[in-house]
């Protein structure tokens, strides 16, 4: 029994103390769910990195395989890869290469930001327009200060007033 325990301990220690043949790194250690992320893979043995690799993502008990595709030609034993983070993943994720002795990388995965219902228009009406206020901005407003041979300032304020709109303002009082 004691010998079996010692063998198990020796096997476990050897498995975790093994030097990896491949190092996995990230430029910023962050990713967004459902979007592409970048990895840098380096072969410590000097092997040529392949065009595609697989990575195992672990989030708690969930485990997923992601295909990594080369982004550019290898630079010696180093190559940059891109993969797509699965949509349902969030929080700290461990990543290691499949079928290769590699280092383990932890990425912080953020949820995909919510998309607005419709993109804002450049000529969208302000929130108060269409209410009882017939006043709104017209052209871009700005204020510029300069100093060439003395200080000067230039500004523009542009407003429009719906004079004959019968639903508000002067048009409502004097139809």
Q: Give domain limits for the chain.
A: 18-110, 135-173
Q: What is the pLDDT of residue 175?
A: 59
> Does the model's pTM come out above 0.75?
no
Q: What is the pLDDT of residue 33?
A: 92
For residues 126, 132, 137, 143, the Cα torsion angle rounded to the nearest 10 degrees is -100
Low-confidence stretches of the chain (pLDDT < 70) are 1-18, 115-134, 138, 163-175
115, 149 contact by CB (below 8 A): no
Q: What is the pLDDT of residue 171?
A: 61
Q: What is the pLDDT of residue 98?
A: 93
The torsion angles phi and psi of 12, rounded to 5 degrees, stand at -65, -40
Q: H or E segment at 123?
A: none
CA 68 to chain CA centroid, Å, is: 17
Return the CATH number of 18-110, one of 2.60.40.10, 1.20.1060.10, 3.40.640.10, 3.30.1600.10.
Answer: 2.60.40.10
The torsion angles phi and psi of 146, rounded to 5 degrees, stand at -135, 165
């Amino acid at each position: 029994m004691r010998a079996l325990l010692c063998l198990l301990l020796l096997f476990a220690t050897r498995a975790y103390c093994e030097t990896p043949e491949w190092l996995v790194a990230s430029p910023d250690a962050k990713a967004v769910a459902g979007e592409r992320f970048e990895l840098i893979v380096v072969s410590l043995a000097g092997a040529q990195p392949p065009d595609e690799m697989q990575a195992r993502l672990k989030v708690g008990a969930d485990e997923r395989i992601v295909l990594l595709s080369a982004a550019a030609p290898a630079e010696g034993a180093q190559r940059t890869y891109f993969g797509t983070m699965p949509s349902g993943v969030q929080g700290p994720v461990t990543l290691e290469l499949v079928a290769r002795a590699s280092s383990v990388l932890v990425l912080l995965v953020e949820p995909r930001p919510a998309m607005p219902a419709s993109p804002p228009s450049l000529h969208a009406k302000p929130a108060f327009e269409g209410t009882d206020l017939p006043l709104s901005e017209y052209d871009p407003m700005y204020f510029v200060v300069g100093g060439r041979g003395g200080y000067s300032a230039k500004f523009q304020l542009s407003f429009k007033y719906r004079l004959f709109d019968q639903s508000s303002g002067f048009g409502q009082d004097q139809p």
